[in-house]
Structure 1
Amino acid sequence: MSDNVMVSSVENDRVLVLERVFDAPRDLVFRMFKESEHLKRWWGPKGWEIPVCTIDFRPGGVWHYSMKCVDQNQGQFYGMESWGKGVYKEIVEPETITYTDYFSDAEGNINESMPASQITMNFIDLGNKTKLVSRSEYVSAEALKTVMDMGMLQGITETWNRLDELLESLK
């Protein structure tokens, strides 16, 4: 397992930048983001599963998924379902994925009352390791604060920890 922890910073009060080095080649790390069979194994915080995950991995394509809390120890969250939708804008394999991330419902309708973000993920080749840099830009500081107050930073940290564990098992 990687000894690297995620580093986060905020730019301009509305851009969250996350960085982490994974102990795996860039092609493998990139593949974990483009194929539903891989995403189902690690996406989401600890105690959550992905019962639905469809991906049309191309510019203009859609990634639609459901996260469900299956950990009874998470109290009020147990049994909760959360839907998300990403619309890919640009893909440069195995270097960059840019997409708009939305909260949605089971039919893929966007939840306009929740903040959307423009996400650019850069996969930087470090030989047998990969540095992942994710920039999430929100329309306002308030929108970023909303997702931070929901526990997004803890959730993505747990999610990337799960990715790290999966990558370790695949080596």
Structure 2
Amino acid sequence: MSSPMISKVEGQELVLERVFNAPRDLVFKAFSEAEHLKHWWGPRGWILTVCHVDFRPEGIWHYCMKCIDENQGDFFGMESWGKAVYKEIVEGEKIVYVDYFSDAEGNEAVGMPSSYITMTFEEQEGRTKLTSRSKYDSVEALQAVLDMGMEQGITETWNRLAEHLQSMK
């Protein structure tokens, strides 16, 4: 069983940690391949309708999440586009990327905060400690994404990741 997510704010950074009951190479693979991301990325009730991954430094991951859960009211049918530009990849250990809200063409969404994310994957006796450090341009930008429900969304996303990892074993 994986552990609950730990979330803390350190200045302009949102730090998230969770231990997954899966080996490090499997957790890393779930983050680096489109066929896996399609199964778990996004909060419950949302699916990836678009997922293009060019997993290399300066490569781009462009995706669209769509709400398919009628119980989510005004969110039902809504699309949310995102784009990540990979900066550094250490196989099995680290992924560094800049994350943007975007449109369908991959243009950055004006007025929306971007973040510089460093994810580390640490082996712990057959389990994996995942740490995500998301740095924003300002405390206000970080607060804006927190106010949008970022923590709940990531909690649900990582819960879906834990379920997907079990299916990958």
Task: Tell me the TM-score normalized by structure 1.
Answer: 0.98
Structure 2: 5+ residue runs without aligned partners? Answer: none
What residue is the counterpart of 2:98 in the other structure? 100
SS at match of 1:135: strand
Matched residues, number: 169
Which amino acid is the alignment partner of residue 121 of structure 1? M
What is the CA-CA distance between 1:127 and the residue it aligns to?
2.4
Identity of matched residues, %? 67
What is the CA-CA distance between 1:112 and the residue it aligns to?
2.5
Distance 1:86 1:138 in 2: 14
Q: Aligned pair 1:111/2:109, yes or no?
A: yes
Q: Aligned pair 1:52/2:50, yes or no?
A: yes
The one-character-per-residue Cα deviations of 1:84-112 (angstroms, maximum 9, x if unpaired) are 00000000001000000000000000112
CA RMSD across the alignment: 0.6
Task: Tell me the TM-score normalized by structure 2.
Answer: 0.99
Distance 1:55 1:169 in 2: 21
What residue is the counterpart of 2:82 in the other structure? 84
Distance 1:170 1:86 in 2: 24
What is the CA-CA distance between 1:119 and the residue it aligns to?
0.1
What residue is the counterpart of 2:148 in the other structure? 150
What residue is the counterpart of 2:10 in the other structure? 11
What residue is the counterpart of 2:25 in the other structure? 27
What is the CA-CA distance between 1:27 and the residue it aligns to?
0.2
Which amino acid is the alignment partner of residue 120 of structure 1? T
Distance 1:80 1:150 in 2: 15
**Runs of 4+ with >6 A deviation:** none
SS at match of 2:7: strand
SS at match of 1:130: strand
Distance 1:91 1:143 in 2: 26
Which amino acid is the alignment partner of residue 16 of structure 1? L
Structure 1: 5+ residue runs without aligned partners? Answer: none
What residue is the counterpart of 2:162 in the other structure? 164
What is the CA-CA distance between 1:28 and the residue it aligns to?
0.3
What residue is the counterpart of 1:68 in the other structure? 66
